Chains A and B, each alone.
Chain A
Amino acid sequence: MAKHGAIIAVLLLSLLSPAAMGSAAVLTDPTGLYSTFIGDHWVYQAHHSSTDLMVFYGEADHELLYFQRLGPVAYSSARDFAQRSVELYGAPGGLEEFQLVGDFQAVEVAGEWGVSCSYSYQDGQGNTLWEYRIFLVLPGGEGFSIAFSDSKPEAADLPLLLEDILHHWRWLF
């Protein structure tokens, strides 16, 4: 009986492990700020990325995931950071047809509290895109942002794909 129990536990663990999630890889930020698991269907985009920006394309036509380090910021809180950003996204020179979808919400990313929000806008080809974004001011005053966008309105809610990435998120400081 105990033997069966152990087998079941191993099976459960293997099912829960990242390797069983349709194969995933550990992503460690080259600057050593964070790590997480990224599913294989996310394709890293070297031409978009830099030391401070990591960009991935998903399977769908407009699916996009990116993490950005912004360096030291003078924002006193993540809410200020989010508010100012949204204000500029909606201002001239910002995003076309920008619309905030829902209120700011507090969100926890591996023990750090940030603010999330979602919005829609129009890209250069006239497609409406929805984006879910988290704003964080990390200890030491560094700004950080996690964003997920797609052409489906569901992207405005915390998508399952991102939920999984956030679940495995670890800060390396």
Chain B
Amino acid sequence: MKTATVNTKSKNTRVRSIYDPQLDELKGKILFKKKLERAEKTFSETIFPQEIVDFINREISK
């Protein structure tokens, strides 16, 4: 008698990266300097309302 099988394993939910020593050569080097500078500016100019600060503090104290 044939039985149907269902593959319940989720498809590829996480793929671990493989260590590559060559990438250690990029340590300390900023790869996307302009983007980082712009992002730093955006981040610095961001207003964190009190409820968001409270939310973040709750999260980090868990």
Chain B binds chain A: no
A positions within 8 Å CB-CB of B: none
B positions within 8 Å CB-CB of A: none
